[in-house]
Structures are given as structure tokens and as C-alpha cells.
Amino acid sequence: MRKLLPRIVLAAALAWCLSAQAFSPYENYLASGKPRQVGLIARVHPDRLQDLPEAFAKLQSADEKAAQAKAGIRNLSAFTREIGDQTWLVLHFVQDGNRPYLGAARDFEGATPGTRGLGELVIPHERARRFGSRWLQMEWINYIRGRDISIPARSRLMIVTTVIPEKEQEYRSLHQTVWPGVVDQVVRGNLRDLCVFMTGIDDLLVEFLYLEYVGDDQAKDDARNNSDIINQRWWKLTDACQRGLPGVDGNWVSMDPVE
């Protein structure tokens, strides 16, 4: 058996290499056919800010949701936050895994009358203009599926901070190797679809974190998450890579849900 062990390990490694289509775990996930998490961002036109709640409400009708589903889009949510002197709108949705991932922004733009109407309220991010789109599809740098429950989320949260430029590589590396204990506590804390997105805004490297809560006592679960020793050790490393938005105390600040 001892002589066979190296051969078994080698065979397993070769099988994994043959099943994987690229060296990048990110690219392999995109090729897996599983649903993807998408984060889109654009500036809200200052003269159209008051129109945003009504425009987003139209996207919540049954007909709109059915049309979005045909375009491979579901579970849409929207959040705003003033960064610098501009109001930014961030959209999160789940995209069907059989669609080209980098087409998510254009899929959203043309999906329905409601998505086209929402696009009329925004000013494209500078990088989005280069891609001929109103919306910039942000880098998706981390995903923890978490609690596997097929029930509607009880709450959704989007929070935002910045990554210190000199710490970018360290921060990205940490999120390519998330500790099992951190993942376990996401499940224990009744959280799911924890996503980290990143993009540049002016001279800031901005990070957005989205998650959903599916438990029965969020205050109790939050307290357990905050007191978990593995989480505390993890946050000590990640916090050192972050800096709050200008004028914000602490690293993270919540974004305002569009309702």
C-alpha cells in the first residue's frame, strides 16, 4: 500500500489537471457552468437621482423579473453611496452559468425596458466607456457560497471600503486562499453568497462586499461571527490592507439599498 500511495496521488493530480481547463481557479469556475455573481457600477446622473427609486421599482414587477430571467439575470439588488463628490450605483445579480460572463453588463443593458430605463439615469464609469457600455462589470475577486438554503434572503447587505494600493497583492492573495474556518463561520452565521468586488474610482481602489442573511436571529448570529476567534485572526490580516472611505470612521461603511 505504501508503494501504491505515490501513484494514487499522481493519478489524482493528473485527473484534476485534465478536468481543469486553465491554471486560474477563477477561469475554471466561469467554465464550470455554475451560476455567477455579478457586480455592476456606474455614477448616478446628479439631475436624475430622484428618479432612481421609481426606476428600480419598475424592475421588481413580475413581468420584468420574468424578462430578466430570460436574459439570464435573477436576484437583482441595487445600492448607492456617495464616494468623493459623486453618487455611485452598484447592482448585484446572479447570472446563468451558460452565458458569456464578460457580457453581463450588455446583457443587463438590453434585457428589458426597465433595465434600459435604469441605464438612462447613469453616467458610465471611465473604464466602461472603453468597453462601449454604460455599466462597468467589476472584478469578482472572492465568493463564498455559504448556507445552502433555497429560501428568500431575509436581508441583503452591501458594504464598501478601499484597499491600500501597497497592500493590493497581499489582499488579493488572502482572498485566493480564504481559511476553511472563515468559510465555516459564514455557514454557521446563516450567511450566503458573500461576494467581494473591486474597481478603481478616481485615485481609490474601492472594494464592495455583498452578502445575504437567511437565518432567524441576525443580531445573535452577528455577535457569534464577531466573537469567533478564527474570524478575528482573519480580520486582523485583512483590516491591515484596508482604509475606510475619506471621511468615514473605521474600515467599512454600509451602502444604501435602493427600494
Segments making up each domain of the chain, as ranges: 33-137, 141-259
Whether residue 9 is predicted with pLDDT greater than 50 in this model: the reply is no
Q: Express each pLDDT in 151-188 by its tens digit.
A: 899 999 999 999 999 999 999 999 999 999 999 999 99
Task: Give phi and psi for 121, each to the nearest 5.
Answer: -95, -5
Q: Express each pLDDT in 202-225 by its tens digit.
A: 999 999 999 999 999 999 999 999
Question: What is the pLDDT of the chain when averaged over all its residues?
Answer: 92
C-alpha distances out from residue 248 to 39, 105, 181, Å: 23, 30, 29
Q: Measure the CA–CA gap between 232 and 172, rounded to whole angstroms.
A: 19
- Strand, coil or helix: what is 240? coil
**Residue 65's CB: how many other CB atoms inside 10 A?**
17
**Residue linked to cell 419598475:** 58
Whether residue 14 is predicted with pLDDT greater than 60 in this model: the reply is no
Q: How confident is the model at residue 13 (pLDDT cuts 50, 70, 90)?
A: very low
**What is residue 3's predicted lDDT score, i.e. its pLDDT?**
56
What the block records as the C-alpha cell of 149 is: 438554503
Q: Express each pLDDT in 121-139 by its tens digit.
A: 999 999 999 999 999 999 9
Q: How confident is the model at residue 8 (pLDDT cuts 50, 70, 90)?
A: low
Q: Exposure string (b/e) for 149-178, b if CB count within 10 Å is 16 or more? A: eeeebeebbbbbbbbeeebeeebbebbeeb
Half-sphere exposure in the Cβ direction for 196 (13 Å, CA): 19
Segment (H or E) for 16: helix 4-19
Segment (H or E) for 76: strand 73-83
**Record: fold of 33-137:** Alpha-Beta Plaits (3.30.70)
For residue 82, is it left (φ>0), alpha (ψ between -120 and 50) or beta? Answer: beta
Q: Measure the CA–CA gap between 16 and 34, rounded to whole angstroms.
A: 18
Beta-carbon contacts of 85 under 8 Å, excluding residues fewer than 6 positions away, are none
CATH fold match for the domains 33-137 and 141-259: yes
Q: Express each pLDDT in 180-200 by its tens digit.
A: 999 999 999 999 999 999 999
Are the C-beta atoms of 101 and 40 separated by less than 8 Å? no
Q: Which amino acid is residue 192, in one-letter code?
A: R
Give the class (CATH, top level) of 141-259: alpha beta
Whether residue 90 is predicted with pLDDT greater than 50 in this model: the reply is yes
Q: Measure the CA–CA gap between 88 and 41, rounded to whole angstroms.
A: 7
Q: Measure the CA–CA gap between 25 and 20, rounded to whole angstroms.
A: 9
> Picking from 75-79, 235-239, 246-250, which range would have the lowest pLDDT averaged per residue?
246-250
